[in-house]
Structure 1
Amino acid sequence: MLVLVETPAGYGLFRVKNKKLLEVEDANDLTSFFASAEVAQKSVHLEAFAKFKDTKHALDEVLALRESKVGKSLKKFLKKHLLQTDASAQLAVSDKALGAAIRNKFGIDVVFTPTTHEIIRGIKEQLSNLLDGLSAKDRQQMAMSLAHSLNRFKLKFSPEKLDTMIIQAVALIDDLDRELNNFAMRLKEWYGWHFPELSKIVTDNLIYAKTVQLVGFRSNTRNVELSPLLPDEIAAEVKMSAETSMGTDITEEDLMHINTLANRVEELVEYRANLAEYLKVRMKAVAPNLTYMVGEVIGARLMAHSGSLLNLSKQPASTIQILGAEKALFRALKTKSHTPKYGLLFHAALVGQAPPKLKGKISRVLAAKLSLCVRVDALTEAAEAAATAAGGKAAEEVASPALSEPTVAISCRRYVENKLLQLEQQQNSGLSRSTAKPSAARYEPKRQMNGKSYDASTDVVQEKKHRLSEEAEEEEDEKPRKKVKREREN
């Protein structure tokens, strides 16, 4: 029996020398045959070995093995060392699906049992001793290099596209917004015990934190110059409120902790601004058309919701329209009610400036154009060629001005704006729909009467008879009346 072993260095073909290996009933008893190098060499010996040329060659073969396919190198190896030498021998493999592919391709008797699986495991444990010229250190380096290449391929990491950087940046911006809201609220509540009127006068979180650090105790407002931070009117109002404030007194230690929190709020606000600028630059380099349509924040959230720019490009327009509203969609499907008209696109500027009754239509039009723009950003050949030629350069060096400028997004945005203007005009003029068709005339079939036509001359005769009968009745009514009159006269 021959045993096929896949290693990071290449393919190995081993022949079983000790027939007792195949006669063992319990697979766990095979460990004694590979307990040491001497025992392993008596059990199996190397028939042939095909070394990979480089890491790329090894990666191609490993990817083929992962899909249970016979790669080019494995095909040549089996033809040369198995079909031409001993085609009738059994071949033991470590993958059942791979064994089926080899059997269908070459007609070889392939074996896959728990016993053969343990034999292959024992061979891999003593691989350094069974292979001549391959030390354990070299095998470890080859395995590490192949593992890095395989992980890079699986993750599809592209330092030029920077999808992962954008996704992490927009997630961090959302986290910073929540933390800033909590810290600023805590700062206003804490310092509000000493100067509660300040939070109503200064509403901006950054200016409030700087004012707290500059003023300190509210009694210092008389000697502190607030003009660098606040306008003259607001500064005068702060000083006036400090004199009549209803806050309590605090100690130096309290003020020290309040200033520490205010400093942290100031640092977070500044870092959030720097991170937003970083996201803007990255989005313009990676997805200029998407950024031009909905902005860098909404575009980055769409990418993060899909996982990557490539995954977003595979989504249809109907899916892009409701991204971010999955809970509402499934709730509507469960209750058989109306499905949502928009998700993350609700915060886009083009949808926000539309009237409430037209937001659904504009979001549908915008999603249709976004699907086109995203596919251009993700699948354009010019961007891929530039990314391949750039290698490991930074994003600023990779993104040329021609690639960072929007292309189809200009016409798409103009179309959406014109569509919005058209719908607003129709709504103001009282028209129902822009796509309404003129109502067709009602179809009334002509019926043909197969019977005899109606004779109108008979109506005259019936009318005369009817009149004669009426005159006779009137005469009968007059006769008794005459009798009654005569009786009265008598």
Structure 2
Amino acid sequence: MSFFVLYESASGYALLEVMEAEEVGSLLEEVQQAVLDPQRFCRTVKLKGFQPFTTAENALENVNAISEQIVTDDLKNFLEMNLPKVKKSKSASFQLGCIEPGLASAIQDRLGFPCRSDETVKEIIRGIRVHFHRFVKELDGGVGEKAQLGLGHSYSRAKVKMNPARSDNMIIQSICLLDQLDKDLNTFAMRVREWYCWHFPELRELVKDNYMFARCAAYIKDRAAFDEEKLPGLNEIVMDEELAAAILKASRHSMGMDASPVDMSNIVTFCERMVKLAEYRRDLYAYLVDKMGIVAPNLAALIGDTVGARLISKAGSLTSLAKCPASTVQILGAEKALFRALKTKGNTPKYGIIYHSTFIGRAAAKNKGRISRVLANKCAIASRIDSFSDEPSTKYGDELREQVEERLKFYDTGEAPRKNISVMEKVAAEIAREGGEIAEVCTPSSQKKKKKRERKEEDEDAVAAVDDAPSSKKKKKKKKKATA
């Protein structure tokens, strides 16, 4: 039986025939020794055919198809032209060796050629790769290496290219920027209070909110120039007439030091910058909410926009989060505590990023670990639905949130929550109804119930056929009543 080997190089397809097929197939060690000896290897393997790629685009197209285990038209025509023809009535008198088992299966399914992929084939192809310039003389002198380098750059660039439809990257960047802005705003707010309170210390006790304090400082400026004419503008900032009047009264009897125009100009400029930064932070949060509603609506409906975005950021992408099991989602963000516990053989953490969810804060101390496990399970389900669904919807997320609420009630009152499969069936039926689909929702439980019902009906019919006529009539009547 003849034995051929398919070799996919950067310059084209090559088909080589192994002359000593039986010995090569049985003795793997001899193949490895033959690879090291060029003359012996060239006597063992002979070039049957070579088809170069026409252009760089053609080479990239064929390599991409091979990596995805697809038989292209170029590969199909090349194999049919160089391999012996296979008759339908007889079995093939040859075998084709491929380095990839998936490609071998694809060739065998589409063309009907018997293929194999084992360690012997891999060793032969390793030798072909080393001595390929001896079989195709045109590739000698560095031409083959240049083709490999050019194709490698094109293939890598096509694989690493950013996907414009990947919106979860925008969520990752937004939540990281939001966290950084929160830290910076807290630092700036402390600096604004400390700096301006040297001039107007009474404002610290009257205005507690940092954002409002910065707006008041930027509006009042020098307290000596603040009078009743500016009071309406201050009312619009603090949204309280009594508070505005109290600020005006405190400015007239303040114990703060006077500031020069240059110092006050710097203080006001810094306050205005902080106010603009706080407003930008608010706009960025609105942008994050919109993105979460598009990319991960169910996860946002279940656990909130901020916590859901932090989970996606920690996992690296929505797809990576969907691949994580619930046990990994539960401790995302607590890696240091986990490894420290494993090292010291202590108690492992119960929660990570999901601790910021309101569900864990509402649970009793003894139930925090249990509710975190339930919440991580629901987050894993929601992320998988968001990652693989075509149309975004919050229906699953809302029902999953209600399930977590029911679990909290179960810990307090003992009322049993709904099962997950029943909830999924309900939401799937609602979505099918809204989409105008009349087809029955296929779930594992519904299929099992349907098969069980059909099996029961068949058993009843068999029993009715064996029994006498009167009893069978009664059973038929019962059956009619049951169906009615």
TM-score (norm 2): 0.60
Cα contact 1:320–1:371 (8 A) shared by 2: yes
Aligned residue among 135, 156, 162 for 2:167: 162
Cα contact 2:62–2:72 (8 A) shared by 1: no
Aligned residue among 277, 280, 290 for 2:289: 280
CA distance in 1, matches of 2:71, 2:119: 11
CA distance in 1, matches of 2:157, 2:411: 55
1:215, distance to aligned residue in structure 2 (A): 0.8
CA distance in 2, matches of 1:120, 1:195: 84
**Paired residues, number:** 344
Paired residue for 2:408? 420
Gaps of at least 5 residues in structure 2 are 1-6, 16-48, 86-115, 418-484
Cα contact 2:12–2:59 (8 A) shared by 1: no
Offset from partner CA, 1:12-59 (integer Å, 9 cap, x none): 99xxxxxxxxxxxxxxxxxxxxxxxxxxxxxxxx97522354854443
- Is 1:228 aligned with 2:236? yes
Change (3 A) 1:251 1:49: same
State the SS of the aligned residue for 1:405: coil
Cα contact 1:10–1:58 (8 A) shared by 2: no
Paired residue for 1:318? 327
Paired residue for 1:35? none
Identity %: 36
State the SS of the aligned residue for 1:208: helix
Cα contact 2:199–2:258 (8 A) shared by 1: yes
CA distance in 1, matches of 2:374, 2:403: 9
Aligned residue among 167, 170, 180 for 1:175: 180
Q: Which amino acid aligns with 1:60?
A: A
Paired residue for 2:224? 219
Change (3 A) 1:122 1:144: closer
Paired residue for 1:123? 143
Paired residue for 2:471? none
Which stretch of structure 1 is more off in the superposition, 48-57 or 171-180?
48-57
Cα contact 2:65–2:71 (8 A) shared by 1: no
- Is 1:208 aligned with 2:216? no
Change (3 A) 1:106 1:267: closer
Q: Which amino acid aligns with 1:351?
A: I
1:300, distance to aligned residue in structure 2 (A): 0.7
1:302, distance to aligned residue in structure 2 (A): 0.4
Paired residue for 1:238? 247
Offset from partner CA, 1:355-382 (integer Å, 9 cap, x none): 33322221111112222111111123xx
Change (3 A) 1:106 1:250: closer
Change (3 A) 1:178 1:120: farther
CA distance in 2, matches of 1:310, 1:352: 28
Paired residue for 2:271? 262
Change (3 A) 1:143 1:345: closer
- Is 1:191 aligned with 2:157? no
Aligned residue among 408, 416, 423 for 2:396: 408
Cα contact 2:202–2:250 (8 A) shared by 1: yes
Change (3 A) 1:349 1:370: same
Offset from partner CA, 1:272-327 (integer Å, 9 cap, x none): 11111111111111111111100111001001111111111121212211111111
CA distance in 1, matches of 2:413, 2:141: 75
Change (3 A) 1:81 1:263: farther
Q: Which amino acid aligns with 1:165?
A: M
For 1:457-476, list aligned pairs within 5 A.
none
Higher relative contact order (CA 8 A, sep 6+): 1
Change (3 A) 1:357 1:245: farther
Cα contact 2:12–2:51 (8 A) shared by 1: no
CA distance in 2, matches of 1:329, 1:147: 36
Paired residue for 1:252? 261
Cα contact 1:317–1:368 (8 A) shared by 2: yes
1:336, distance to aligned residue in structure 2 (A): 2.4
Cα contact 1:342–1:360 (8 A) shared by 2: yes
Cα contact 1:61–1:73 (8 A) shared by 2: no
CA distance in 1, matches of 2:346, 2:182: 34
CA distance in 2, matches of 1:55, 1:112: 21
Paired residue for 1:111? 127
Offset from partner CA, 1:45-89 (integer Å, 9 cap, x none): x9752235485444334677xxxx9988568658867999xxxxx
TM-score (norm 1): 0.60
Q: Which amino acid aligns with 1:233?
A: E
Gaps of at least 5 residues in structure 1 are 14-45, 85-99, 128-138, 384-402, 428-432, 435-490
CA distance in 1, matches of 2:118, 2:143: 21
State the SS of the aligned residue for 2:204: helix
State the SS of the aligned residue for 2:53: strand
State the SS of the aligned residue for 1:227: helix
CA distance in 1, matches of 2:328, 2:119: 44
